[in-house]
Chains A and B, each alone.
Chain A
């Protein structure tokens, strides 16, 4: 299976060209191999959707900032890691918001309907991932609580949001939600998608974290309590670090799933990475290269997911203190 795949992807593929003439065979039909000029011609929409080309520098600057912070966190020798992490957590999202949306500080306003491509996928995935972990932890603790009201609320939340398909959550947020809102109040479509994705993912994350909490022996709780640590300190210093470390595989699994699930926002009219690829291959000038598009999408998704997986294994190795 590998050699024919390599032929299709690399050896028989067309690599250079400006229009689809290089990807046609003798009879005028598409070649039986990848057409990479298609990707090259469409790279900007695939990466950024319909975001105005003149404003793309705003996105690229935030990518640069993120890359620098990430490198600083990953390379062991670089100091002040806490500051880089804090930067990513608080100021960075705010900077991103103002850069992407615009409308202030002299930047042109770009409505969220124009956001698309890999940029949109990353916005939805990263927001979902970063928000669902703390919410999931709180839900897991709530579900294990002895207080009946708290427990009931958490159980209801978890069972509701993970029992319903993400696609229906997105669809309902887009179609039904406006029906319940008073006349004229209109929540941004992307915001609705972000909330839906986050709540959905939090419910999954809650159960993953709860599995980890269950695995911590009672003796750890007792050792902490006997030292006088209250509930908050016990959770923060003793139980959570161990529980989360235990379920890193589950957490990263959920993140990877979420990253790929973001493609469902196409049902509410937001054009994520995959949707842009489909849009590109249905364009009359480049008709018939959907396979190449999908191959490219698979490659890009795989790179991100594999990157997350590799990082998680690095994290597990670093935190391994058992012998």
Chain B
């Protein structure tokens, strides 16, 4: 089977023996969502364990972004249960804020704050949500900026950075809050091919260190390298889920086979 944009061989090979504990950090039970009368998510069931890396893929409009956005309440589900770190997700604002502190999210279009410098982008939430003192927040920020390999950009503004750098800053910004879970919503879809690798490298390092991750992406090489499970969604339903080798070599459902043939062909 041919590789997609970034071949698995180009990526650093981590050990996939990073232990996945039994502790369930995200539990989604029979979740449904409607946009008006349009049934966008149908009976979603998912259990994510601590340290697990999950890749969600599927065609456009399949609801995969909507599904993970429900986890940190950027979207509201109408039926079913979502439990994150033991806290049930309801309309209770306090619980929502609690969950959002533990769940970091990276977006397709970065969503950095353009009127603040990179350093200010990073220290804002730790200082004002976790009440960290400024010097501690700045230390943490610089540490994560070094992790994503762009400490020299701290004083610049997002508009002065390239797409790949902005996404790495976005990842660092989420990490500054020390989240237990990281959500990625098509993090490399808006990037030029040359920049995709630098972002995926950061995400792979993160996975190696045991971060629980749910990643919506089209980067199948990344899925093969890092994922414990690959989930295929279509038309709002989870069609198939399996560990990567089985998923790619032996897709069970017709729709999965069709999707894989399209995505891996070009």
Contact = CB atoms under 8 A, between A and B. Distances in A.
A321 B100 contact: no
A179 to B, nearest CB: 46
A227 B159 contact: no
Contacts of A323: 157, 159-160
Nearest to A224: B113
Contact of A219 (B111, B124, B125): B111
Contacts of A222: 74, 107, 111
Interface string B102-113: 011101010111
A126 B190 CA distance: 47
A230 B101 contact: no
Q: Which one of A223, A225, A238 has the greatest number of beta carbons of chain B within 10 Å? A: A223
Contacts of B116: 321
| Interface size bracket, B side | 20 to 34
A227 B74 contact: no
Interface in B109-134: 109, 111-116, 124-125, 128-129
Contacts of B82: none
Interface string A211-227: 00000000110111111
Q: Which of A227, A242, A322 has the most CB of B within 10 A?
A: A227
A319 interface: yes
A241 B72 CA distance: 25
A27 to B, nearest CB: 66
Interface string A279-323: 000000000000000000000000000000000000000010111
A230 B173 CA distance: 17
Nearest to A242: B115
A242 B115 CA distance: 7
Nearest to A231: B93
A228 B111 contact: no
Contact of A225 (B74, B104, B109, B160): B74
Contact of A223 (B73, B107, B160): B107
Contacts of B105: 226
A43 interface: no
Contacts of A98: none
Interface residues of A, number: 21
A145 to B, nearest CB: 15
B97 interface: yes
A227 to B, nearest CB: 4
A246 to B, nearest CB: 10
Given A219-B109, A223-B111, A230 B74 contact: no
A319 B115 contact: yes
A237 B114 CA distance: 12
A81 interface: no
Contacts of B103: 226
A245 interface: yes
Interface in A228-261: 228-230, 233, 237-238, 241-242, 245
Nearest to A233: B128
Nearest to A241: B115
B129 A227 contact: yes
B66 to A, nearest CB: 13
B177 interface: yes
Given A225-B100, A227-B174, A230-B97, A245 B115 contact: yes
30 contacts: A219-B111, A222-B74, A222-B107, A222-B111, A223-B107, A223-B112, A223-B113, A225-B74, A225-B100, A226-B74, A226-B107, A227-B100, A227-B104, A227-B124, A227-B129, A227-B173, A227-B177, A228-B97, A228-B100, A228-B101, A229-B124, A229-B129, A230-B93, A230-B97, A237-B113, A237-B124, A237-B128, A242-B113, A319-B115, A321-B115
Given A226-B74, A229-B124, 16 more contacts: A219-B111, A223-B111, A224-B113, A225-B73, A226-B100, A226-B104, A226-B107, A226-B111, A227-B100, A227-B124, A227-B125, A227-B129, A229-B125, A242-B113, A321-B157, A321-B159
Closest 9 pairs (CB-CB, A-B): A223-B111, A227-B125, A226-B105, A228-B100, A323-B159, A219-B111, A228-B101, A228-B129, A321-B157
